Structure 1
Amino acid sequence: MSELNEAPSPADEEEVWSWGAGTDGQLGTSKLQDEHLPQLLSLTSLPSISMLACGGAHVIALTSGGKVFTWGRGNSGQLGHGDNLNTSLPKPLSFFDGDYFISQASAGWSHSAFVSDSGSLFTCGNGSFGQLGHGDNISLTSPAKVSYFVDKSVKMVACGMRHSLVLFAGNQVCGFGSGKRGQLGVSSDRTKSVNLPCFVSGLEGVEVVRVAANGDHSAAISANGELFTWGRGFCGSPDVQTPQCLPSSQSFREVALGWNHALLLTFDGKVLKLGNTLDKQSEKQQLQEDSSETLLEKVIGFDGVEVLQIAAGAEHSAAVTESGEVQTWGWGEHGQLGHGDTNDQTNPQLVSLGSGDLQTKETNVYCGSGFTYVVRRKQQLSSSPTSS
């Protein structure tokens, strides 16, 4: 009697691809130029990436071992290396070595934030709007612990253009930095800026599990899939000073914010959006709440396909499908769509990332303001069955 046995799986191979705006070194290619097609990076010094965070023109990489690497634009100290220099290749951030295991990070336009597995928050970079949360408007070239959260166990941080949101123990959310468009959610009145963490009002009693920020927008997702947004209004609507729950029959598990739009991913893998994007042929749903109208648009092109992950740059969007394909659409001026040109695309288009003898196991996409990264984990295709 013969029995089919699978050969042992070899170690996964990791691929990192980048494309789009690159004149500040943010693509990690060592070349200071835009790339219109995906570039496969040779990052031997950067083992096992657990997540990337892409900002205005800089990148933060976390490894599965809790190490931190940064590269790209460093003019405000956002790379955390103690200087204001750009770096065109990943450089280890030695500040945390041996003392902290960094488990989550976020990159704003010119500031950075890091969360340790013990719940501490560190920030560096541009502080001119108070977005570092240290009680002043000073910029820092090395990470510094935000003292407000020393005993509060931070779960997640999200950096917008000039503001920051923090989710911490008790499902509470604080904001700091620029608040002129209502993105801090600290009151019903316009707040120009805050340099110390202040509670976001309007989320009392909500079990927040995720926060997001970009441009002058802020968002939160609750445990039951409700989406709350505040800050700059979408679709030309007025700014929102405190979190408002989006009236929808859908339940959301992920939100990605751009400068003028928001992408929403439902639990069943559908992609919807809010705001001004280039997708003019979208299928529109009018949702009524009292006398006001909220416009949700279904992103067409994914019918019958489950989307696993979404990402948003300043004015472009990306998604990973269940088959591991990456699709992009929106503004393409810097080649950030990865289609070999600088054309805009109104609907999702497939990005070619090559092939080979490896089978894709996991794909993740990340968007900076005008550039895109993909991290793929691959394994050898199954070998012929063996008999026993």
Structure 2
Amino acid sequence: MSPTPSPADAPATDDAFAPPRAQTQDVDGRTWAVASGCWTTLAMSTRPAWEALAKDLAALPPADDRAWDLRPIGQLDHIGAQLLWEHWRQAWPATIELSPQHQAVLDQVAKFTVATPDEPPKSLSDRLHALAHHGPRAMVVLRDFVGLIGQLALDLCTLARAPHRAPWRDFSGHLYQFGATALHITALVGLLIGVVLAYLISQQLRNYGAEAFVVNILGLSLIRELGPVLAAVLIAGRSGSAITAQIGVMRVTEELDAMRVMGIPHGFRLVMPRVLALAIAMPLISLWTSMAALAGGMLAADAALGISPSYFLSALPRAVPISNLWLALAKSAVFGVLIALIGCYFGMKVKPNTESLGRGTTSSVVTSITAVILVDALFAVLFKGIGFRG
């Protein structure tokens, strides 16, 4: 490179730990970027040295007319050269002064560094290809789930035609496991939710002198929405995962294959009893949870607002129409059917290994909770005009 006016030569250092620096100098009306120190991995390994160098480089934007003087650099390895090359945006500066050994290192880096082009936006063909790759998987899941629902409908017809053939012992066992054993945890959670809601609502109603409306807010929100949804979420995490794990273990231990060999239908003996049990237990658990939440809210309203339990109980039927209770029970039954079907579906899809069993159980819980929230939103939209006093 042709000699050009440059800053005064700075003495190069051989200290391997000399921190790298990059500063500006003005010479003959032109701004030079002067690099000094050791641009090596060892010198940049400490956090203070790296932060100082990053600050120096941030103050030196890679303008095209900026001149660089690299002669004060004591040592330059490929890491330091790569850092400079990337700072220059993989292009040589218009003016540069450097020693032959530094020139060789930078030439090597520039030769083998390939600029990564920006990813082009996806075209229509790319999007169609992605849909063709992932679409069949979604269609297979939808097909299998619809097939599970259809088989359940056929099994219910078989049950109505020949009730003596139904697995009533399995049904009663599932009803006990899904319903009776869940009463304590749902009651505790519902009670605490009611207390928390009552205290939060009381803080706002007291500001407007509307303490009596705590009955309306608690009754409508707990009976219509929070009670069924809260119970469904708890049952999805408790019973939905248990259904998937039970059927998944049967897949791992090849019990499902043995049932198929003996001609025992999976849907009639495994799916239908669980779906019926949750369809019956879920409305009762929802009602139980709402009652516990209302009891907690009633106690908290008495403590925070001075509303007596007798007034609370007498005002509750007037504040909350009975149609809200029927709506809550109906959608709780739908929640129970969904949770049982999703749990059975993921249990049937478990592969004969423990890793697939854990993954299927997790997917079952997440899918069940998501489905419960979506269906609850659908019920809220469809029945938005029911259960409110004009």
TM-score (norm 1): 0.18
Higher strand share: 1
TM-score (norm 2): 0.18
